[in-house]
Structure 1
């Protein structure tokens, strides 16, 4: 069932340059661009997750401007895209919110630019999502990615996009767009509108 997909952009816990756990900064661009991709692919909700109040306030300011203030009149399509955005302090809060909305906990799907064992292909994951009635939550890490501890809590892990490339450092905005396109083909978008 392709109408129960959620996405979370994680700013904590994520890996720092040296493999330590850090909180990364929210960027205005990630909020806007990922929201536009999510709206295009009819993602049910896009959560920006940060444990830092000042970073969550950035998300609030972006949303207030584009949903409540001048931005709503100035660019209605940008405003519409941002209606899918929600903010949360922790991954657990996202899971609880989806459970509240759907009446069941989501299937957690880990994404990474790094290789790992037991990673599903996009075709395998798409087939699983289509055949399931559960909500699905795709987790995307910022900074240097999500820690292994998060992967251990997930139900599935997706294969990396370009693991064998001599340069493998896509922006998270690009990775979200490519992964959603691989999971939700153009020919399946009509199915989601029902």
Structure 2
């Protein structure tokens, strides 16, 4: 069984705490793919319900996965071959279930603290002990919705520094989280 990640563009909050779909950022695609490949993630789902953004993501991925980009930069291809662009999180879950034969545990991430949050060490142990896939979900905008977090199987503790400022880019947070879970100890 394996670990998968998803970058969710809906359902997330905007700064006014309204539920929105956020715009695609191509740097997120590349950087999270590179971190995923570095730490042994089996797949990376880009969840983007906006039709023309989904088209753009698939066009970019086609260039790197099948087009000139594959020959031009094989290292980039090696990371980007992990990425699938899908319109909804249910599509990612169904694909993982088809690949693994089991529905994945859903792990929500957030910069906020939750009473039911598990530590990096606890989640690392669960991943090592369980015979099931895990899907670690990263939110764009101002984070995953409360409904999404409540419906998840696990909520991971936030990445925190020594200051009261806690607003990392999603690509930075994803890299730190993957390192804390799978980096050499």
Structure 1: distance between partners of 2:77 and 2:11: 29
| Deviation string, structure 1 residues 39-82 (Cα, Å, up to 9, x no partner) | 11110110000111111112111111112222111111001110
Paired position in structure 1 for 2:5: 7
* TM-score, normalisation: structure 1: 0.92
Paired position in structure 1 for 2:172: 174
Gaps of 5+ in 1: 188-194
Structure 1: distance between partners of 2:129 and 2:8: 27
User: Which of 94, 111, 114 is 1:113 aligned to?
Assistant: 111
Gaps of 5+ in 2: none
1:45 paired to 2:39: no
| Deviation string, structure 1 residues 132-174 (Cα, Å, up to 9, x no partner) | 0100000100000001100111111011111773211101001
* TM-score, normalisation: structure 2: 0.96
Structure 1: distance between partners of 2:5 and 2:125: 18
CA contact (8 A) 1:114 1:163 kept: no
Structure 2: distance between partners of 1:114 and 1:152: 13
Paired position in structure 1 for 2:77: 79
Q: Provide the aligned C-alpha RMSD in A.
A: 1.2
1:4-153 to 2 correspondence within 5 Å?
A: 4-153=2-151
Paired position in structure 2 for 1:190: none
Runs of 4+ in 1 over 3 A off after TM superposition: none
1:157 paired to 2:127: no
Structure 2: distance between partners of 1:43 and 1:136: 10
| Deviation string, structure 1 residues 9-57 (Cα, Å, up to 9, x no partner) | 0001100110010000111101111000101111011000011111111
